[in-house]
Amino acid sequence: MTDGDWAIVTKDLRKSYRGRAAVDGLDLRVPAHGVHGFLGPNGSGKTTTIRMLLGLVRADSGRMRIFGTSVPRALPEVINRVGAIVESPKFFPTFTARRNLDLLARAIGAPRTAVEDVLDRTGLRDRANEPYRGYSLGMKQRLAIAATLLKSPDLLIFDEPTNGLDPAGIHEIRGTMRRLADEGHAVLVSSHILAEVEQVADTVSIIGRGRLLASGSVAEVVGDRSGAVRVGIADPDGAAQVLGTAGLVVRRDGEALVVEGERDPARVTYLLAQQGRYVNSLSQVGAGLESVFLELTSGHELGAPPHVAPEGGERS
């Protein structure tokens, strides 16, 4: 596959702030179809990467391409194929939704009917004449999505789109992303919550400290790494020491312990019982980004080669 067959390709992308690397040699490939989760903990470089792709932040070095077009040098050539919401939606607070959209539509020469069309598609028509500042966060997100749709983009970028949303809002955004992908758009969604993205993403890339840790389909990346065991026990510190000595990855979660990457609760109870320690409660928890992320980085130098390469992609 050539770079043009991918929605986004970055090679050895780097960006530092005051000598501290925010993005550190990132090689990223986002397929031209489907939902791609761009995952990493807070501060891992997701937003900086997105901002560099959109020309809002200058990269120190490296190469970026969107649909094969080199950015930011030729960004104006491809910008109309890209709709993006970076961090939270940002519009003029005193303007109505319709006014905000109208200004953006005029900037790209979109027909006036486009505004009404995207208002309909996002269910905002009835409240389109209200000032943006009065909108709930969910409505702001819908307006931001409406703005991205003004361009009829081939690629949609959502940066932490569910931050601050209630469950209904999160569900709605997920549904919207899935629908857009099913309509043929490529969707890149960044998040620090894998569990949230894995319900909607077809492929994911996981980054940490600005470097790619893993990339591929959700099943491939999460695969056997999923699972953790939550242990309630009287002396969590002592128990953590026992489990740690046995080679398990353990972290404190309040008064409980979470054994990362462990799918067999029996092994946990066995190891503890051997040392005369008995659990009060035991439960399996699904994989979160944190558990996968900890496993990916545990025992490896940060930025180790990704475990799984996307289909048709390169191992890097």
Partner 1 sequence: MRLLGVELTRLRSRLAIVLLLSIGLASTALFAWAAFGSAQPMTDAQLAEAETQWELARQDWEETGDEQVASCEEAEAAESEAAGEELDFGCDELAPQREWFFWQPPPFDEFVGAALSSGQMILCLVALMVGVTFVAAEFASGSIGTWLTFEPRRIPVFVSKIGATALAGLLFGLVWTALFMAANAAGYALAGSEVTIAATQVHTVARAAVLAMAVAVAGAGLAFVVRHTAAALGIAIGYLIGVDMILLGAVVPGGQRWTLVNNITAWITGRPVSYYEDSCTVEAGGTVCDWVERTVSMSQGGVVTLAMVLVVTVVALLTFRHRDV
Say if residues 32 and 188 touch (Cβ distance below 8 Å): no
Residue pointed to by tokens 């046995």: 246
Q: Which of 64, 84, 228, 229 binds partner 1 (CB under 8 A)?
A: 84
Question: Minimum CB separation from partner 1 for residue 83, in Å?
Answer: 8
**Taking CB under 8 A as the rule, does residue 287 contact partner 1?**
no
Q: Which of 1, 21, 75, 137 binds partner 1 (CB under 8 A)?
A: 75
**Taking CB under 8 A as the rule, does residue 246 contact partner 1?**
no
Question: Minimum CB separation from partner 1 for residue 99, in Å?
Answer: 6
DSSP 83: E
Please tell me whether the peptide bond between 89 and the residue prior to it is cis, using omega within 30 degrees of 0: no
**Taking CB under 8 A as the rule, does residue 18 contact partner 1?**
no
Q: Tell me the residue type at 15.
A: K
**Taking CB under 8 A as the rule, does residue 107 contact partner 1?**
yes
Angstrom distance (rounded) from CA 96 to CA 266: 58
Q: Which of 5, 108, 234, 235 binds partner 1 (CB under 8 A)?
A: 108
Could you tell me whether strands 228-233 and 211-217 are parallel, antiparallel, or unpaired per DSSP bridges?
A: unpaired
> Binding pattern to partner 1, positions 36-55, x when CB under 8 A?
---------------x--xx
Query: Which 54-73 residues touch partner 1, going by CB under 8 A?
Result: 54-58, 72
Which of helix, strand or coil describes residue 312? coil
Residue pointed to by tokens 């009287």: 234
Backbone angles phi, psi at 69, to 5 degrees: -95, 130
Q: What is the dihedral of CA 83, 3, 50, 88, to 10 degrees?
A: 30
**Beta carbon nearer to partner 1, 55 or 68:** 55
**Beta carbon nearer to partner 1, 87 or 255:** 87
**Taking CB under 8 A as the rule, does residue 91 contact partner 1?**
yes
**Taking CB under 8 A as the rule, does residue 82 contact partner 1?**
yes
Question: Minimum CB separation from partner 1 for residue 100, in Å?
Answer: 8
> Binding pattern to partner 1, positions 111-150, x when CB under 8 A?
---------------------------------x--x---
Could you tell me whether strands 186-191 and 155-159 are parallel, antiparallel, or unpaired per DSSP bridges?
A: parallel
Say if residues 260 and 294 touch (Cβ distance below 8 Å): yes
Q: What is the dihedral of CA 176, 53, 210, 261, to 10 degrees?
A: 20
Residues near partner 1, by CB under 8 A: 51, 54-58, 72, 75-76, 79, 82-84, 86, 88-95, 99-100, 103-104, 106-109, 144, 147, 151
